[in-house]
Copies of this chain bind each other. A is one copy, B any other.
Amino acid sequence: MSADSPAGRAPARNKRADAVRNEQTLLAAAAEVFVTSGVDAPIRQIAARAGVGLGTIYRHFPTRAELVTAVYRHQIEACAEAGPRLLADAGSPFDALRQWIDLFVDFLVTKHGLADALQSDSSRFAALHTYFLDRLEPVCAQLLAAAVEAGDIRPGTQPYELMRGIGNLCVGRDSDPRYDPRRLIDVLLQGLRRSGPA
């Protein structure tokens, strides 16, 4: 797509100053609203918070997914970049994988309703889903491959499937204190290890 605005470098000479300003305002407003009302908050609410009209918000972010992506882009990026670093620093590839997944879960869980949005009705949010996966799946694949290589886990696990599964397990975390996705993700990780661990 266009490599312009959301990266946030120079004002991109053909973009008007007020438009840039509005985009920033919108991102800030959306971020605020997301923490209180979740990523499903009514567009009108975000527009009101930013003090702009509906047209403006749709002009800058035609779909909700694009807005959510823009708001969380740098965090996703951080998560992606942490992958190789963990692989280098952690004691074992399996540890690296575990820690990376922890990071990922942290991200999903601290954003109110993000996990729900990611998985729910795939038509909305499709772009969000895509962006997450495009960026993070290779990282996951690398960690997975390293762990297989080291003999920590058995081969055959698809990165895509694992990431979706983890995302799914994070859905609806707030609804019941008895449900803690981390425990299950731990079990899942255990299941990934070689059966007879030599």
Interface residues of A in 47-79 (CB under 8 A from B): none
Q: Cβ of A186: which chain B residues have Cβ within 8 Å of it?
A: 191
A171-198 residues with Cβ-Cβ distance < 8 A to B are 171-172, 175-176, 178-181, 183-184, 186-192, 195-197
Contact surface of A with B, Cβ cutoff 8 Å: 40, 116, 119-122, 157-158, 160-162, 164-165, 168-169, 171-172, 175-176, 178-181, 183-184, 186-192, 195-197
In the complex, which residue of chain B has the Cβ closest to the Cβ of A165? B184
What are 29 sample pairs from A and B whose C-beta atoms fall under 8 A apart? A40-B121, A116-B119, A116-B120, A120-B171, A120-B172, A122-B172, A122-B175, A157-B187, A158-B178, A161-B178, A161-B179, A161-B180, A161-B184, A164-B176, A164-B179, A168-B168, A168-B169, A168-B171, A168-B172, A169-B169, A171-B171, A187-B191, A188-B188, A188-B191, A190-B191, A191-B191, A191-B192, A195-B197, A196-B197
Which residues in B have their C-beta under 8 angstroms from that of A168?
Answer: 168-169, 171-172
Q: Note all chain B residues with C-beta closer than 8 A to A122.
A: 172, 175-176
User: What would 19 more interface pairs be, CB under 8 Å, given A161-B179, A171-B171, A187-B188?
Assistant: A40-B121, A116-B120, A119-B171, A120-B171, A122-B175, A122-B176, A160-B178, A160-B179, A161-B178, A161-B180, A161-B183, A165-B184, A168-B169, A187-B191, A190-B191, A190-B195, A191-B191, A191-B192, A195-B197
User: Complex formed: what's the CA distance from A187 to B195 in Å?
Assistant: 11
